[in-house]
């Protein structure tokens, strides 16, 4: 792993804060600097020993930095990249924690006019209900999956460095292309989140039955848990992975159409087949996981 003296966390919230805190505890980095607009939040991060110091000036924050971790909302990525680009060291590694990857790759391409060899897009699949640096914890990524999505230009050393950091934090690192990442996450994460939001919204807005939430049980609570996620983050994901999400929403809409046909036809054998195949797949791939 490349020697890292100074790293910069752009956006010190739950994810950026937990990344910083874990590395600080390991003592692998001489100096961890936080950057953001909110000095109170950054001071809190210092007080919590999440970062060593902070700056609200981008030049001060990133100059001489060996690695930049972008842990800001997807909608802010391009602005931050543009602000920091003039002050980066030539060989600074740029990585991120965005939930969609093609949009970050495109933002880097737009700002740098190319894809730097030191750019290593990434996505830690971890989180919790709380957000903000106060919720940061050093083992947030432990035994969790982190997906790195090197571009065609990413060099092996930069990839190895970022991978080593995540592994030092206990994560299971896996690599794939940005496009495949976005498809897979659209199907397995973005789609169910949007479906949960849509169900709660449908029942909430439906006047016909009164407050039906009072009749819900544990199944509904679990099914809709992800509808308590942060609305701003999910708006950004829906906007910045819109192609893949739209495609999977349409696949799902067709699947619901098929289900309606089976229910209307009272086709017991086909319904039983669909339910038992789904149950078997979940029991095999999810329950046993």
Q: Which of residues 104-133 bind its own copies (CB under 8 A)?
A: 125-126
Based on CB atoms, which residue is closest to its own copies, 47 or 277? 277
Q: Are 4 and 67 in contact (CB under 8 A)?
A: yes
- Does residue 195 bind its own copies (CB under 8 A)? yes
Q: How far is the CB of 122 from its own copies (least distance, A)?
A: 14
Q: How far is CA 275 from CA 96, 217, 268, in A?
A: 39, 21, 11
Residue span 22-41 as binding mask against its own copies, x where in contact by CB under 8 A, dash where not? --------------------
Q: Are 226 and 196 in contact (CB under 8 A)?
A: yes
Q: What residues numbered 255-284 form the site for its own copies, per CB under 8 A?
A: 255-257, 259-260, 262-264, 266, 268, 271-272, 274-279, 281-283
Choices 40-48, 53-61, 93-101, 198-206; region in contact with its own copies by CB under 8 A: 198-206
In what helix (H) or strand (E) does residue 173 lie, and over which residues does it extend? strand 172-175
CB neighbours of 110 closer than 8 A, spacing ≥ 6? 78
Based on CB atoms, which residue is closest to its own copies, 134 or 274? 274
- Does residue 142 bind its own copies (CB under 8 A)? no
Q: What residues numbered 201-230 form the site for its own copies, per CB under 8 A?
A: 201-206, 208-209, 211-217, 219-230
Residue 265: how many CB atoms within 10 A of its CB?
10
List b or e across 17-54, with b for residues whose CB sees 16 or more CB atoms inside 10 angstroms: bbbbbbbbeeebbebbbbbbeeeebbebbeeeebbbeb
Residue from 52, 106, 144, 167 binding its own copies (CB under 8 A): 144
- Does residue 166 bind its own copies (CB under 8 A)? no
Q: How far is the CB of 134 from its own copies (least distance, A)?
A: 19
Task: Tell the burial category of 252 from Cβ atoms under 10 Å away from its Cβ (0-12, 13-18, 19+).
Answer: middle
Based on CB atoms, which residue is closest to its own copies, 3 or 130? 130
Residue 213: how many CB atoms within 10 A of its CB?
11
């Amino acid at each position: 792993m490349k020697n890292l003296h100074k790293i910069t966390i752009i956006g010190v919230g739950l994810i950026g804060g937990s990344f910083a805190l874990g590395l600080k505890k390991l003592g692998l980095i001489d100096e961890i600097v936080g950057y953001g607009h909110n000095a109170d939040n950054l001071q809190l991060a210092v007080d919590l020993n999440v970062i060593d110091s902070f700056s609200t000036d981008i030049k001060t924050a990133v100059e001489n930095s060996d690695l930049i971790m972008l842990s800001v909302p997807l909608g802010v990525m391009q602005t931050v990249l543009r602000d920091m680009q003039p002050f980066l060291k030539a060989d600074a590694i740029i990585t991120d924690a965005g939930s969609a990857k093609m949009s970050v790759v495109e933002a880097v391409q737009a700002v740098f006019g190319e894809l730097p060899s030191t750019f290593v897009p990434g996505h830690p699949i971890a989180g919790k209900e709380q957000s903000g640096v106060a919720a940061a914890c050093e083992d947030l990524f432990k035994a969790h999956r982190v997906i790195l999505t090197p571009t065609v230009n990413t060099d092996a050393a930069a990839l190895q460095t970022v991978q080593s950091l995540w592994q030092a934090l206990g994560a299971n690192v896996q690599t794939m292309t940005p496009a495949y990442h976005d498809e897979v996450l659209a199907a397995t994460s973005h789609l169910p989140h949007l479906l949960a939001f849509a169900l709660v919204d449908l029942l909430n807005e439906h006047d016909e039955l009164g407050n039906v939430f009072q009749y819900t049980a544990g199944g509904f609570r679990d099914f809709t848990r992800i509808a308590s996620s942060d609305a701003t983050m999910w708006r950004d994901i829906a906007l910045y992975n819109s192609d893949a999400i739209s495609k999977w929403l349409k696949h799902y809409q067709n699947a619901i159409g098929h289900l309606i046909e089976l229910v209307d036809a009272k086709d017991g054998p086909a319904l039983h087949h669909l339910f038992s195949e789904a149950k078997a797949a979940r029991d095999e791939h999810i329950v046993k996981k």
